Amino acid sequence: MALTQASRKDRLDRMVEEVARALGSRGLDAGSPDGAKAILRIVREPFVRRVVQVYWTPFQADIPDECIGLHLEVGEPRVHWAEGYISPDHTNWFFSFHERPDGDIQLAYYEHDDDWRRILRRFFDLAGWYVLTATGTTWKDVVYEVDPAIGWTPYEQALGSSALTSAVQESLKKSTIIWLRWKDEDGSEGTMPVWFVYDSKAERIFVLSGERQQMIPGAEKLRQATVILRWKGKNAQVAEIPAGVRVIEPGPEWDEIAEKVAEKRLNIPGLPEETAKRWRDECVLLELSLRS
């Protein structure tokens, strides 16, 4: 029983992580519902029992165990709201309702699926249409609020920030390794972990190829790649971001950047300027610019 409960908790935690990714991909920010045009509440629900009537036929949606509930609401000009319920073990549901001109509440649409990921995607797609578009609002008007019972960690908070900016910055500042993926001239794909230096002011990543520990095939010909960021100390991916790649040519710029990179490189004997001078003859220095 303990193993089953632990396994289910892990699956619920993974669902929370995917909810956070969905928030970040739509540029939502956490905030207070006071004064907000639209509010999305994320709650941990012990169970769900929803009795809904379609025309004259009622039916009941049940999730007998703990699940994640998503509730999006716009109050003006008339109330529109959507509900999503996702569970690792049971049927998942989406509902959308609106207030009619006569004041009655009407079910606009519903959907169910055994795949919680599909309902999560459908929640954001369908709620955007039935709630936001219908009221002249957009995802930029939505703030989200998380139930403390969700266990929202700094990791989810970073993932759920606008356009993943916070998560990306946090990962780049705390990590020493990124994964780099690229395509060779023949179309074959290469992927490898690389150590890097991040310049937060310039928002540039610098990667050196040519040391025995780090040889990137065809580095001198790279012009684009994908940067894969992972959360330090957690087996979870933060983001995959396309990046432009520029080969830095030997010269004053090379010397300045290479010395900064050498300062960050551990276990290298000698002064940074001596290391940079040696690298100039042996290595390729790449500048990666992340594309939003």
Question: Which pLDDT tens digit goes with each residue over 38-96?
Answer: 999 999 999 898 888 777 777 788 899 899 999 999 988 889 999 999 999 999 999 99
Closest CA relative to residue 243, chosen from 186, 194, 170, 175: 194
Residue with tokens 């029983």: 1
Give the model's pLDDT for residue 98: 93
Residue with tokens 């432009």: 244
First to last CA, the chain: 45
∠ CA 172-207-163, nearest 5°, is 35
At 120 the three-state DSSP class reads helix
Distance CA 147, CA 12 (A): 14
How is the chain split into domains, by residue range?
Answer: 2-160, 168-290
What's the Rg (C-alpha) of the chain?
24
How many Cβ atoms from other residues are within 10 Å of residue 42's Cβ? 22
From first to last of its 292 residues, the chain has per-residue pLDDT tens of 444 555 778 888 889 988 987 887 777 888 888 888 999 999 999 989 888 877 777 778 889 989 999 999 998 888 999 999 999 999 999 999 999 888 888 899 999 999 999 999 999 999 999 999 999 999 889 999 999 999 888 777 766 765 446 677 778 888 888 999 998 877 788 999 999 999 887 788 999 998 777 899 999 988 888 888 877 666 667 777 878 888 998 888 888 888 888 887 756 666 777 888 888 888 999 999 876 5
Q: Which amino acid is at 177?
A: I
Tell me the CATH number for domain 168-290: 2.30.110.10
Give the model's pLDDT for residue 158: 66
At 152 the three-state DSSP class reads coil
Residues 178 and 196 sit within 8 Å (Cβ to Cβ): yes
Q: Report the predicted TM-score, pTM, of the whole model to 2 decimal places.
A: 0.60
Residues 101 and 71 sit within 8 Å (Cβ to Cβ): no
Mode of pairing for the β-strands spanning 284-290 and 204-209? antiparallel
Closest CA relative to residue 268, chosen from 211, 194, 197, 199: 211
